[in-house]
Amino acid sequence: MLLLLLLLLLLLLLLLLLLLLLLLLLLLLLLPLLLLLLLHLPLLLLLLLLLILLLVLLLLVLLPPPPPPPPRVLLLLLLLLPLLLLLLPLLLLLLLLLLPLLLLLLLLLLLLQLLLLLLLLLLLLLLLLLLLLLLLLLLLLLLLLLQLLLLLLLLLLLLLLLLLLLLLLLLLLLHHYHHHSQ
């Protein structure tokens, strides 16, 4: 009974380990995608800005010309234009400042990937050890069953011996009785 409980516990542990391995493999597969995204983040942001500018230009070209704005709106637009022109280099500068942080994050992700690989290897080793333990327990169960079979066989042999002894006793008694009757 105790061995069966141990076997069940080992099987549950094996299932948990397999689930952990699957999760780790999924993480290891997703990490390179995240790394690629981080590496190309400045380029992606620049492309997004360019796409927005292109969309604005297309809208200006395709849409019918709006009515002439009042002088106040025109003045406001003229004031906003230098601000926008100033914002673009600031955005580029911000991206350049973010690059070391991105590289640091990239290194951290690479370290995390290495740690996950090590953890995966450790889990595989643990899985192998559990499998070996399971095999040993199965062998122990087989040995116990074999021992029970041998005990049963021994009991059968003892019963046969007892029967033979009884038969011999009966034969001796019959022989003795027959001898006295003569």
Token pair for residue 1?
Answer: 């009974």
Mean pLDDT computed over 6-31:
81
Task: Give the angle 102-44-27 at the CA atoms, nearest 5°.
Answer: 55
Answer yes or no: is 94 within a domain: yes
Token pair for residue 50?
Answer: 């360019």
Residue 166 pLDDT level (bands cut at 50, 70, 90):
very high
Answer yes or no: is 180 within a domain: no
In the predicted structure, residue 116 carries a pLDDT above the cut 70:
yes
Instruction: Provide the percentage of residues in the chain whose pLDDT is more than 90.
Output: 19
Answer yes or no: is 67 within a domain: no
Cα–Cα distance measured from residue 45 to residue 32, given in angstroms and rounded to the nearest whole number: 20
Predicted pLDDT of residue 133: 87
Q: How confident is the model over 30-80, as pLDDT tens digits? A: 877 777 777 777 677 778 888 888 888 888 778 776 666 577 767 777 778
| Residue numbers of the domain that contains 37 | 2-59+83-140
**Tokens 């050890």 identify what position?**
129
Answer yes or no: is 107 within a domain: yes
Predicted pLDDT of residue 180: 79
Token pair for residue 131?
Answer: 């499998």
Query: What is the 8-class DSSP label of residue 40?
Result: T
Answer yes or no: is 118 within a domain: yes
**Residue 106 contacts by C-beta under 8 Å, 6 or more apart in sequence?**
35, 38, 39
Q: What are the distances in angstroms from CA 86 to CA 73, 81, 181?
A: 20, 9, 139
Contact in structure between 116 and 28 (CB atoms under 8 Å): yes
Average model confidence (pLDDT) across the chain: 83
Q: What is the pTM of this model?
A: 0.50
Answer yes or no: is 8 within a domain: yes
Number of folded domains in the chain? 1
Question: Nearest to residue 50, comparing CAs of 83, 91, 80?
Answer: 91
Predicted pLDDT of residue 112: 84
Q: What's the chain's Rg over C-alpha atoms?
A: 43
Answer yes or no: is 19 within a domain: yes
Q: Which amino acid, one-letter code, is at 61?
A: V
Answer yes or no: is 114 within a domain: yes
